Amino acid sequence: MIPSTRYCPQGHGALVVAPAGSIEVDRCPTCAGVFFDPGELAATLGADANPETWGRDPSAQAPDMHSAYCPAGHGPMWRLPTEPAPGVPWVQACGHCRGVWIEHVTLENLRARGPKLPMNEGATADSVGRYLFQLVSFMPVEVSNPVHRRPWVTWSLAASMVAAYAALHLLPVASRLQWEAMLMVSPSEIRHGFGLLTPISYAWIHTGVGHLLGNLYFFLVFGDNIEDRFGRAWYLAMLAVSAVLGALVEVAARGDVEVGVGGASGAVAGVLGAYMVLFPQTKLHVVLAFIPLKVPAALYLAFWAAVQVYGYLQHTPGIAWLAHVGGFFVGLAAAIVARASSRTAVAS
């Protein structure tokens, strides 16, 4: 069993990571209670298991001195009835991290209504594979953040990046290098009024398989949720502005040099900035010093942004650090506007 960083609110010590279907939850090996991060409950028990809905019941009890404490250390939790009826199971929810603690008997009652997903204490092939992938790649894995419609824009753009890379690498080397030079952003050319379409075309030019796969991974993991929240037209516009502004910021910083800039990193960074604003509490699996952790997306993405700034300040070569920073701030701004517009629409 893999130890967790959370603790049982019943005083039984550290929780352990327990595979539950396609996700992993934090489970007490003593009392068998389970702590669910946002999104995990619906993935385990079905879409009807929604603590946001349960919390609207007038009989929900606010935290007090007798309440159990959040396993993640955020203080006393709310008590929520799972249905607006007497005698129904109650759960405990943290008002800060939105996590939900469910005791074993209550969990069994809830599972009886929904999918019969296994709750294993030991490691599974999926959990071991995910751990090894993260250990080697340092990539995060989204815990659970389902979408309501198919992300056709994200899938189509990802497929077009793969197609562009394959097509270029089927050409003779000299022809491929010539095409890449034409499609990449060249600071020297932009400064002299040439290559004005390259701040868009450069997003399809990747210098190697690792470069391509890294961008595709972040784009596919986080892009579907942003497309779902923004809508396809606004999402496309955000990607385009992120790519263009990222390229221009990089060009402005590089001076009058001929070395080109390529890759979808500016647009992908826009996706990450938007995700940080719109889904700050969504948990991500990460592996740090061989220890598997679940951290809020806002914390991980703030760290990612800080790494980009640090890389630029250290003059680390080979990466368009400021293209990432420029795209990230476009995504932040677009998400803030989208969130404000949504709240205004609800209020009216």
Domain closes at, from 99, 123, 147: 123
Closest CA to 143 of 3, 271, 288, 295: 295
> What does the buried/exposed string (b/e) look like for 206-223 if buried means 16 or more CB atoms within 10 Å of the residue's CB?
beeeebbebbbebbbbbb
Residues 316 and 203 in one domain: yes
- Provide the pLDDT for residue 22: 60
Residues 152 and 112 in one domain: no
- Provide the pLDDT for residue 295: 84
Residues 320 and 198 in one domain: yes
Beta bridge partners of 92: 79, 101
* Within-domain flag for 131: no
Residues 275 and 326 in one domain: yes
Residues 228 and 89 in one domain: no
Residues 249 and 199 in one domain: yes
Distance of CA 107 to the CA centre of its chain: 27
* Within-domain flag for 85: yes
Q: Kindly give the residue spans of alpha helices, DSSP state H, lying in 279-320.
A: 297-313
Pull the structure tokens for residue 14: 């550290």
Pull the structure tokens for residue 323: 């293209």
> What does the buried/exposed string (b/e) look like for 148-182 if buried means 16 or more CB atoms within 10 Å of the residue's CB?
eeebebbeebbeebeebbeebeeeeeeeeeeebbe
- The predicted model gives 147-157 an average pLDDT of 92
- Provide the pLDDT for residue 256: 61
Instruction: Specify the pTM.
Output: 0.72
- Provide the pLDDT for residue 138: 77
Quote the CA–CA distance of 42 and 161 in Å, as a whole number: 33
Quote the CA–CA distance of 59 and 311 in Å, as a whole number: 52
Closest CA to 119 of 133, 129, 104, 106: 104
Residues 206 and 270 in one domain: yes
Domain that holds residue 239: 139-347
* Lowest-pLDDT choice from 72-81, 117-126, 265-274: 117-126
* Within-domain flag for 45: yes
Pull the structure tokens for residue 35: 């702590």
DSSP 192: T
* Within-domain flag for 333: yes
* Within-domain flag for 255: yes
Residue 311: give its domain's CATH number: 1.20.1540.10
Pull the structure tokens for residue 178: 């010539």
* Within-domain flag for 129: no
Residue 347, burial from CB neighbour count under 10 angstroms (0-12, 13-18, 19+):
exposed
* Within-domain flag for 130: no
Count up the domains in the chain and report the number.
Answer: 2
pLDDT per residue as tens digits for the range 201-255: 999 999 899 999 999 999 999 999 999 999 999 999 999 999 999 998 888 887 6
Residues 205 and 336 in one domain: yes
Amino acid at 187: P
Residues 193 and 82 in one domain: no
pLDDT per residue as tens digits for the range 161-172: 999 999 999 999
Residues 110 and 145 in one domain: no
Residues 144 and 277 in one domain: yes
Residues 174 and 115 in one domain: no
Sequence-distant (≥ 6) Cβ neighbours of residue 135 within 8 angstroms: 287, 290
- Provide the pLDDT for residue 245: 94
Sheet of 90-93, strand order = 2-7, 14-20, 23-27, 34-36, 100-102, 90-93, 78-81
